[in-house]
Every structure is written in structure tokens, then in C-alpha cells.
Amino acid sequence: MITLSTLITGFVLFLGGHCALALFHPTRTKRPSERHATALLLGLALVPALVIGLVLAIGPLGPILARALALALAVGGTFALFRTRECNKAKRAPLRLPCNGEEYFGLIGFIAILIFGAFIVFYTATMPMHIFDPVFHFAYKGKLLYSEGLMTSSWMDVEDSIGRVITHPDYPPGVGAIEALCGWLGGTFSEDAARPLFALFALAAAAFLFGTLKDLGRRGSWLAPVTGTLMWLAMPFLYYSRLPHKDWGKGVYGLFFGPDAAEAKYGSTIGPKGPIAGEWSMPDGWTLDGAGDLPLAALFSCGFIILLRFVFAKRDQRDTADILIAGTLFGGGALMKNEGLALLAVAAVVFGLTWLLGLLRGAKQDAEGSRLMIPFAVGLALVVALIVASPWLAVRADIPTIGEDYPSRLSPSGLAESWNATQAVRISRVTSEVAQVPVPRIVAGGFADAFTHIPRFGLVWILFLASVLFGLARPKRLLYSPALPAALAVVGACALYALVLFVTPWNLDALFKTAIPDRLIFHVAPLAIFASILIIDSTGERE
């Protein structure tokens, strides 16, 4: 539901981001869509960091302090917004709508983007928060921040034979910080009032992709921005993760005509306890319900692209603000989900490889600038990320870890053990029959299912694979393209997640029922779209 506090919090996040953007003093002129999207992403990263830092320092903010903070951010942001608007007025030509015959699909696509953008807001505003993770892993931390702060007995008292209940106490509280702020501004905590704010992550990433691909695609063409943005906003996984029924034909029919109509046409599925009627009794939709996956996907992917633009820019066009913005978004991502820290490591390795490749090929940008510019920029971005995430990182080690201490499990012996291990997998829904299957095969099967699940991801992953193969067929062009580091980051993140699933203490069969590994690969979906579009858009260019 959209309440006054939802609207005020949304504006505070947006204007707070503009305030930060002005402080970073960017020199690169941005399209309005990219500028506002960058500001919103900055707000979505920095404001939670600020809230967590303040809660750590002085305890729950309460309505008065929160409203004072909101007012300060709003005033500063409004001033910054008008100032940058004046600066940009003279520099940009007005946007031309795609109206020539060649690009009329661009116009249709653009209208579809607007429709899906509106639907995201409607969807988040009209559905109560109802999925396990968003409520119990994330919103609960929002309640704790709102009422009692960090590091209280609610977070810590899990070590004795009797104690408090808290799922994943060491999950970062960035999502909860947004919900707590919305609660203070409205005077009462409500996860349902905060739910529409998660639409902002999807919309900001969409506007950012649009602006960036408009800049990086063919000049004057709407093909790249419209295709990329539509692939993101129309990715089914944003809205639902399961078809109404597990049987494909029945599931797809149910999606189009309703689960009951599918039931009537195909008959009931018989499960171990009898007929399974109306399997899809609710729309699920992990991403927009308030879990950390969408925030991480938006912040990490956009941060990576911003840093990529700095690294690949000509020396005189490099904007130091891009490093600070990218670092802030990375830090914000680390506050949304623990995987944000792992993705930081992936980014560091990928940019390291990019630098080495540049040195090997004697790239122009290195000849023009310092050879150490890239490592310096990436190092600075990582430092900024750690500073942004520091309010949480400062206390995280003291908060108990329950069950999922992955770093300690990712040892050679742990991996070797998992390589030879087997787990029970249910092979029939009708008889509850299970079979022991090797863990590597379960993990590989889970990823293969996710990558090829078209009703869930549309063409995103198939297109990514095709574009990478296409790029590899023209290695020289790929070597010089920013699509290469983006694609490497996608592959690296997926490989890292596969390793983590290898050693997870979870039963994989049970875990995969909660839309894993789909929720993991979703973290780099915007980056995969970006890389695919760049590679495909370069078709027809001479190598």
C-alpha cells in the first residue's frame, strides 16, 4: 500500500541521492534518465548506510530525528537537483522519439517499458508483503532497527539453551533500514507501506540502463536502450518465480488463463497426499516483495557499469566522480545482502584482469594515462564501498552466525568433501520417491534449469550465452569492448555462487524450491543484459 510515509521516504531517497551526487561533483554530462537514476541509486545506497550508522551511534532515530534528517536531505537534494538541471540544460539536445520507419519497434518497446514501469509500482503497492524471506529475514531487522537498534539481545541472544529467535542475524540490515526510515517518517512500522519502495530499485536500474545504453549504443538509435531496458523490466522473475503449476503446459496455460482454468482443462495433479488443487494460490515474486536480491542486483550491476565507463573512457573524459559513485553503489549492495561483499571480490578480480589484458595489448588508454590509473580507480572504489558498508561491517563480526558460514566452508577439504557427497532428491511428486544424487550434478542441474527457464527469465540468459559465443567468434573486438569485463563479472559471479551451493549446509532439493539458484544469478542479470546488448549491437562493425 502507498501511504504518505511511502511517498515521503521515496522522495527523501531520491533527493538524498541528488544531494550526494552534487557532493561528488560529477563532470561527465549525463542524460536525464541516467542522472536521475544514478541519484536514486545513490540515495538507495547511502541513506540506509546513514540510517544504520546513526542507529549504531545513537539508537533508534524516532520520528523527530528521522524527520529532521529527511528534511535536511530533501532541502539539500532539491537545491542540488535544480543546480544540476540548470547546468545540463545547455549541454544536451532534446530527446528525439523513435519515429522513423526503421525503428518503429523502438516506439512499441518504449511504450511497453512505460507500461511495465507502471505495473511494477501497482504490483508493489497492491500486494501485502507475504513471502518468507522478505518478512522474516529482512523486515524483522527493520522492526528491530525501528524499535530497539542494533546489537541488542534480539540480535545476540541465540547462544544459550533458551534464547531469542532471529533468522540469519548476520544478514545486513540495509533493506530493514529503508523500512525503518519509512516507519519513523510515518509514525508506525509497516512492512506493507515500505513495500512499494522496492519498485524504486527496479525502476532506477531501468532508467540507468536506458541512459547508459543510449550513450553506448549506436548514435541516435533507440534499439540498444529500448531492447536492454525492456529485457530488464519485462523479466518475468521480477514478478513471479513459479508458474501456476509445475507441469509446463498446464503452468503456462494457467499463467495466461488462470490456475483454475488450467485445473479444469488439464485435471488435478495427484500428489502423495492426494490431488494438488490450485497449487498457485498466490502470486509469489521474491524480488519485489522486499528481499535483498533486487536491491543488490540494481546497485551492484549499475555500480559495475559506472566503473566500467571510467576504466574505458579516454583520459580527458574520465570523471573521478564515477569512481566514488560506483564505490557507493557497491557499498550499498553489501548492505542489502551478504553476497554484495562476494561480488565486490568478483569485481576486483575482473577489473584486475581487465587491467592485465590492457597491459598485454598495450591499450591506448594506458598509454594516454598512467598505467596505474585502473588499479587506483578500482582500489578507490572498493575503499569507498567498504566505508559505505562500514557501519554494518563494524558490528557484523560480533553478531552470531547461524548455519551458513560459507567462507570457512569454502576450503579445499570442504570442496573435496562436497564433490564426493550425495543428497536425497525427490524424483517424483506423485510417490515422494527420492534418490541419492551426487551434489555436483544437483548444483549443475539447478543452474541449467535456471538459465534455460524462459517463463522465468525470458531470453536474458540464452541471449547472454549466444552473445558471449558470438563475441568469442570475434575475439579481437571483444578484447577491446567493455562487454568483456561485464561478461566476465557475470560468469565469475555465477561460478562463485555455484561453489557456495556446493558447500551449503542446506538440503539442495529443499533450497531449490525457494527459487535458488535463480535468485543468485538474478544479482548479475542487469549486467548480463548490458553485456549482451553491447555485443549484439556491435554486429556489422568491422573488426
Partner 1 sequence: MNGLPSKAPSLLRYLLPVVILMTVFPGAFGALYTRTWLDERQGKGIDQQRASIKGVPWFKPEFRGLVKRLKEHLPEGTGILVEPHAVDEKEAQPGGRTRWFLYLNYYAYPLRIYAYEPKLASGTLVDYTPWIDHHFEALNIDNSLQGMSASIKRDRLLKDADKQIAKRDIEWRLTYPISQSFRMENVKLYHREDGAWAPVAIPAFAALADSIFAANEAGL
Q: Which of 258, 275, 352, 475 binds partner 1 (CB under 8 A)?
A: 258
Give min distance, CB of 311 to partner 1, in A: 9
Which parts of 225-254 interact with partner 1 (CB under 8 A)? 226-227, 230-231, 234-236, 238-240
Nearer to partner 1, 27 or 507 (CB): 507
- Name the residue nearer to partner 1 (CB basis): 47 or 308: 308
Stretch that binds partner 1, among 43-51, 100-108, 178-186, 366-374 (CB under 8 A): 100-108
Q: Rule CB under 8 A: say whether 202 interacts with partner 1.
A: no
Q: Which of 86, 316, 541, 543 binds partner 1 (CB under 8 A)?
A: 541
Identified binder of partner 1 from the candidate list 91, 94, 281, 397, rule CB under 8 A: 281
Nearer to partner 1, 80 or 489 (CB): 489
Report the residue number, 431 or 539, with the smaller CB distance to partner 1. Answer: 539
CA distance 532 to 393: 34
Cα–Cα distance between 26 and 8 in angstroms, integer? 26
What is the footprint of partner 1 within residues 312-371 (CB under 8 A)?
A: 312-314, 317
Q: Does 540 bind partner 1 (CB under 8 A)?
A: yes
Neighbours of 505 (CB within 10 A): 11
Beta bridge partners, 269, equal 276
Task: Please report where in the chains the cell 569507498 appears, as a residue.
Answer: 384
Of the candidate residues 26, 327, 482, 485, the single one contacting partner 1 (CB under 8 A):
482
Which residues, numbered 133-162, are part of the site for partner 1 (CB under 8 A)? Answer: 135-136, 139-140, 143, 147, 154, 157-162
Helix (H) or strand (E) holding 472: helix 460-473
| Region 293-312 residues binding partner 1, contact defined as CB under 8 A | 308-309, 312
When asked if residue 167 is in the footprint of partner 1 (CB under 8 A), the reply is yes
- Tell me the β-bridge partners of 437: 423
Q: Which residues contact 341 (CB under 8 A, 6 or more apart)?
A: 334, 389
Is residue 63 part of the contact set for partner 1 (CB under 8 A)?
no
The region of 177-185, 198-206, 399-407, 491-499 touching partner 1 under the rule CB under 8 A is 399-407
CB 501 within 8 A of CB 512: no
Bridge partners (DSSP) of residue 436 are 424
Residue count of the chain, please give it: 543
- Give the nearest distance from C-beta 71 to partner 1 in angstroms: 28
53 binds partner 1 (CB under 8 A): no
Exactly one of 22, 224, 335, 483 binds partner 1 (CB under 8 A); which one? 224
Tell me which of 168, 245, 250, 409 binds partner 1, using CB under 8 A: 168
Query: Are 303 and 526 a contacting pair, CB within 8 Å?
Result: no
Q: Quick check: helix, strand or coil at residue 424? A: strand
- Shortest Å, Cβ 14 to partner 1: 25
Does 95 bind partner 1 (CB under 8 A)? Our answer is no
Shortest gap between Cβ of 142 and partner 1 (angstroms)? 11
Shortest spacing between CB 313 and partner 1, in angstroms:
5
CB 178 within 8 Å of CB 169 = no
Amino acid residing at 529: I
Residues between 504 and 523 with contacts to partner 1, criterion CB under 8 A: 505-507, 510
Q: Which phi and psi (to 5°) does residue 422 adopt?
A: -125, 160
Query: What is each CA distance from 438 to 265, 379, 433, 512, 516, in whole angstroms?
Result: 37, 40, 17, 15, 18
Longest C-alpha distance within the chain, in Å? 72
CB of 230 to partner 1, least distance (A): 5
CB atoms under 10 Å from CB of 483, counted, come to 24
Dist. CA 455–CA 243, nearest whole Å: 8
Under the binding rule (CB under 8 A), the answer on residue 543 touching partner 1 is: no
265 binds partner 1 (CB under 8 A): no
- The count of other CB atoms within 10 Å of the CB of residue 265 is 12
Using the rule CB under 8 A, is 94 a contact of partner 1?
no
Q: Which helix (H) or strand (E) holds 348?
A: helix 339-361
Among 10, 16, 48, 169, binds partner 1 (CB under 8 A): 169
Choice from 255, 297, 323, 343 touching partner 1 (CB under 8 A): 255
Query: In this structure, what are the phi and psi dihedrals at residue 423, rounded to the nearest 5 degrees?
Result: -135, 155
- Nearest to residue 340, comparing CAs of 394, 287, 298? 298
User: Of 51 and 536, which has the nearer Cβ to partner 1?
Assistant: 536
H-helix or E-strand spanning residue 419: helix 412-420
When the beta carbons of 75 and 282 are compared against partner 1, the nearer one is 282
